[in-house]
Amino acid sequence: MRLAAVPGVTPVSLASPERTAEELAALMVRARGPESAHDPGVAQSAEEAAALAHANGAGLVALVEHANADPAVLVALVVVVDAPHGPDAAAELREHLEASAGPDIQDVTESATERGHPVVIADRIPAGEPGCQLQAVVVEPGGRRLAVFTLHSVSGRGWLDLAALLGRLVSSVDF
């Protein structure tokens, strides 16, 4: 999968969970200010994101920043399914998410990338957790790959600005 460079989306190394967490925490402190270096939640968030990313074979971990928002963590991975996608794969995924949507899924929409790949977007407010989460799944038409992006903001401040940055990145996906 290829992605365009998007200002405000800063990838970190995936060499090891420790290095991913270290770089992610350093970016969070830079974004939030030097006083946040004393906040144990910064290191904990970075470690949790790194551990989940490495456990699930993520191909991208990044910090997403916007001047009007608190920073958010982005994790992306490519999933390969057993059979090629049919022409209605995105619509079927959207319908499945809408039908099974619990109280944490606020909205499910369908769009397309610049290259015409279908995208299913689920805007979530996780139950029992603070913040917001946006998941975007890009379907490889007629192929077997799905690019899954998850953006998580602990505070939700500036959420629409962060989601717009993710939209620019997702729009650039090319398999």
Beta bridge partners of 51: none
Domain definitions of the chain by residue range: 9-171
* pLDDT tens digits along 103-126: 677 888 999 999 999 999 998 776
Q: Does domain 9-171 have CATH number 3.40.1000?
A: yes
* pLDDT tens digits along 133-151: 999 999 999 999 999 999 9
Residue 174 exposed, middle or buried by CB count within 10 Å (0-12, 13-18, 19+):
middle
* pLDDT tens digits along 15-43: 999 999 999 999 999 999 999 999 988 99
SS3 per-residue string spanning 27-45: HHHHHHCHHHHHCHHHHHH
C-alpha pair distances (Å), 102 with each of 89, 94, 99, 108: 21, 14, 9, 12
Task: Assess contact for 9 and 62: CB atoms under 8 A.
Answer: yes
Residue 9 makes CB contacts below 8 A (sequence gap 6+) with: 62, 63, 64, 74, 165, 166, 169
